[in-house]
Structure 1
Amino acid sequence: MTLLRYLAVALFVAGCAAPLSQIPPSGMPASVAAPELRAGDHWIYRVRDGFTGIPRGEQRHEIVEVSGDFVRVAGEVERGDGIQIYDRGWNWLRRPATNLQTFEYRPAYRAFAFPLEAGKRWRERLIATDPADGRQFPVWIDGVVRGWERVVVPAGEFDALKVERQVYFEYWEYALRGRSVIREVEWYAPAAKQSVKREMRSRYLRLIAGDDSRPPEFMPVRAGRGGDGGRGAEGVRGFFRARDRGDDGTPRYVEDDWLIYELARYAVR
């Protein structure tokens, strides 16, 4: 089978995949409320590389404090200092971005939009601040709840809502990198008060600078012009596109890590 024929068959099969159930399983509510979180609740995930399948160890995340609208979590992370702060709906206030360092978010990074129900969508614009140097970067989130799915992970079987987020993160480093385009998928299980599986993947704009390189310029993307390398931002107004100002370089998107997390053990009250 030629490569083109193989790709055509793969795309056809993907397009024929059955949609997820919009009806909750027996015993599950049609609308899932935010969980009641308590200090001591913890979750341990097995992490593996999505490209190679190679294990990347385990991560333990434990709630160490619940105060007012804030939930403080201590745990292992790929980047950052491990201190994570959320609101009571698991929306991010302080934690590492996907394949980036720790940021503080205002308003909250809306990872979920409780109450959750199949088909729900949301869009959020926010500012991420790097606490190390105070630099600020715009972020856009498009979220959707795809539906219900039965998920099998090392910790067991769970009825879960599949949540997908497409994120445009305008972080840049001088003459090195521009926008990150991030895809985050989580399977939120009410019984575990948390996602029992998640996949986090991103690509970023690599800036190939010439002799006259200057900081990247962020330009508005108009409808009908893609700002993420031709995939995913067509027709979107209000986003920004990073441009390399080098004279002899061409920016291009490159893949970053693709990590898969599966719940291995947990304890909630």
Structure 2
Amino acid sequence: MLFAAPPSSIGALRRRHGFVVAALVIIVVGCATLTPQEQDTVADVQHFADGTATAYNLPQIRVTIEPATNLGIGGRYRQGNFYLNARTLGSGTPTALVAHELAHYVLGHEPMSGPSMAELQRAQELRELDANAKAVEILMRVRGMSETEAVRTMVTHLRRAQGVIACGGALAPGHRLPADEIANLIARFPDSAPLLAGIEESIPLDSRDPRDSAGALAAEKPTSRSAVAAIPVPVPVWKPGDTWTFCLQSPTGNGMYVWSVDREEMVEGVSHYVIKQGTREIFYRTADLAHTRETVNGAVVRQHSPSRIRYVWPLEVGKIWEQAFREDRPVDRRTTEREDTVSVEGEETVGVPAGTFRTLKIAYRNTRTTAIRYEEWYAPELKNPVRIRERLDSGLQVRELVAYRLQ
């Protein structure tokens, strides 16, 4: 189907620089539909593409939104067309990705032929490196960034891609490893290199305890108090189709999983959201997101009595609560009595593969020992945490948000 984006500054049809320029048409293929937020993102992509065509005296480029895939391809340029993966739309405008694909257009990168696949791969890798550098120029000319801001935008994007690959995600075809592309980009812009030290590594995902040499937990950079919780954060409303994709790393293995709101269902007379994760279903109380039970193929594998209170709403810095509950795991024939003391410790800006978000950091401690069991960084705008660190018997398990889609 066609999605008509808002009119661009270029207009419906007019001549510019000797070209007949038609208004950019956003095409959505397959069964994908766009949420209002995604429509806003598409409109911004159109504006960015229009501005690039104007800046480089080129005809406009058509943008096509493709169904979401997990093939490591966020976008691609082919013969005057820019194809954008629908999965990239949920996190706001994917500025670096769009700049990179527009760079292929500006550089005239069209399909190649060669004597061997190895030669073609090498040639494509060089094109990708050139597109990264050209994207910096586009961000400066079209988005008005400084050189350092533009390089920082591209490096941050590549570091996030590096984190996803470390979690088992696919390397985009034709690319070198993100670390190699980062090194090449910084070598081309050496004046910006000293100013990039503040970029947070996108995924500090490994099985080591994230402690500095003094043994204290590594701290995120806090924001000002007004950034997240100038007013208390209310309980969110989840809708069927809301989806969050996480990267998980632990001592026992790495992987990715998807949480999707499937429905609402009554459990013992109380309304619950049902989150699907493959064959697993997780039940959260609608009124406050308390965690009640989990099932696999319909059989209960975890039950909390009473429901485990994840949050006491409204959330605000300094709030503390305590809870005692029992966790039953019938399949494992194991029961655990727990007492938690939970505190909203502060406001922090956190970078994860899905983007950079303002969050509230929440710590769950063993009431008796005060040891931290579990930490999360809750992002109000996403209605879920973007990072979770959990201390298991086997070691540290870390989860970070890779993508999301809210209805």
Q: TM-score range by the shorter chain?
A: 0.5 to 0.7
Q: Which residue in 2 is equivalent to 1:245?
A: none
Paired with 1:108 and 1:141, the residues of 2 have a C-alpha distance of: 13
Paired with 2:314 and 2:333, the residues of 1 have a C-alpha distance of: 33
Paired with 1:84 and 1:190, the residues of 2 have a C-alpha distance of: 21
Q: Which residue in 2 is equivalent to 1:218?
A: none
1:11 pairs with one of 196, 214, 217: 214
Secondary structure of 2:232 counterpart? coil
Paired with 2:214 and 2:390, the residues of 1 have a C-alpha distance of: 22
Bigger Cα Rg: 2
Q: Tell me, yes or no, if the aligned pair for 1:38 and 1:66 is still in contact at 8 Å.
A: no
CA 1:17–1:62: 2 relative to 1, 3 Å: closer
Q: For each residue in 1:154-186, what CA deviation from the matched residue of structure 2 results, as whole angstroms up to 9, or x when unmatched?
A: 1111110001102479xxxxxxxxxxx761111
Paired with 2:376 and 2:347, the residues of 1 have a C-alpha distance of: 12
After superposing on structure 2, the runs of 4+ consecutive aligned residues of structure 1 that deviate more than 3 Å are 14-22, 131-137
Q: Tell me, yes or no, if the aligned pair for 1:23 and 1:30 is still in contact at 8 Å.
A: no
Q: For each residue in 1:214-240, what CA deviation from the matched residue of structure 2 results, as whole angstroms up to 9, or x when unmatched?
A: xxxxxxxxxxxxxxxxxxxxxxxxxxx
Q: Tell me, yes or no, if the aligned pair for 2:220 and 2:350 is still in contact at 8 Å.
A: no
CA 1:121–1:25: 2 relative to 1, 3 Å: same
Q: Which residue in 1 is equivalent to 2:273?
A: 71
Is residue 2:226 matched to residue 1:34? no
Q: Which residue in 2 is equivalent to 1:194?
A: 384
Gaps of 5+ in 1: 1-8, 170-180, 204-255
Instruction: Specify which structure has the higher proportion of strand.
Output: 1
Paired with 1:16 and 1:95, the residues of 2 have a C-alpha distance of: 32
CA 1:20–1:69: 2 relative to 1, 3 Å: farther
Q: Tell me, yes or no, if the aligned pair for 1:193 and 1:268 is still in contact at 8 Å.
A: no
Instruction: Specify which structure has the higher proportion of helix.
Output: 2
Q: Which residue in 2 is equivalent to 1:157?
A: 356
Q: Tell me, yes or no, if the aligned pair for 2:221 and 2:348 is still in contact at 8 Å.
A: no
Q: Which residue in 2 is equivalent to 1:82?
A: 280
Q: How many residues align?
A: 185
Identity across matched positions, percent: 24
Question: In the TM superposition, what is the alpha-carbon distance from 1:84 to its structure 2 partner?
Answer: 0.9
Gaps of 5+ in 2: 1-211
For 1:32, the aligned partner's letter is: V
Q: Tell me, yes or no, if the aligned pair for 1:22 and 1:147 is still in contact at 8 Å.
A: no
For 1:184, the aligned partner's letter is: Y
Q: For each residue in 1:28-82, what CA deviation from the matched residue of structure 2 results, as whole angstroms up to 9, or x when unmatched?
A: 5421011011111110011123x6xx97121101111124630111115xxxx62
Q: Which residue in 2 is equivalent to 1:261?
A: 399
Question: In the TM superposition, what is the alpha-carbon distance from 1:189 to its structure 2 partner?
Answer: 0.3
CA 1:159–1:18: 2 relative to 1, 3 Å: closer
CA 1:55–1:134: 2 relative to 1, 3 Å: closer
Paired with 2:312 and 2:380, the residues of 1 have a C-alpha distance of: 14
Paired with 2:239 and 2:346, the residues of 1 have a C-alpha distance of: 27
Secondary structure of 1:183 counterpart? strand
Q: Given the two structures, how large is their TM-score scaled by the length of structure 1?
A: 0.60
Q: Tell me, yes or no, if the aligned pair for 2:342 and 2:363 is still in contact at 8 Å.
A: yes
Paired with 1:19 and 1:57, the residues of 2 have a C-alpha distance of: 27
Paired with 1:16 and 1:268, the residues of 2 have a C-alpha distance of: 31
1:183 pairs with one of 364, 373, 378: 373
Secondary structure of 1:69 counterpart? strand
Paired with 1:124 and 1:163, the residues of 2 have a C-alpha distance of: 15
CA-atom RMSD in angstroms: 3.2
CA 1:267–1:92: 2 relative to 1, 3 Å: same
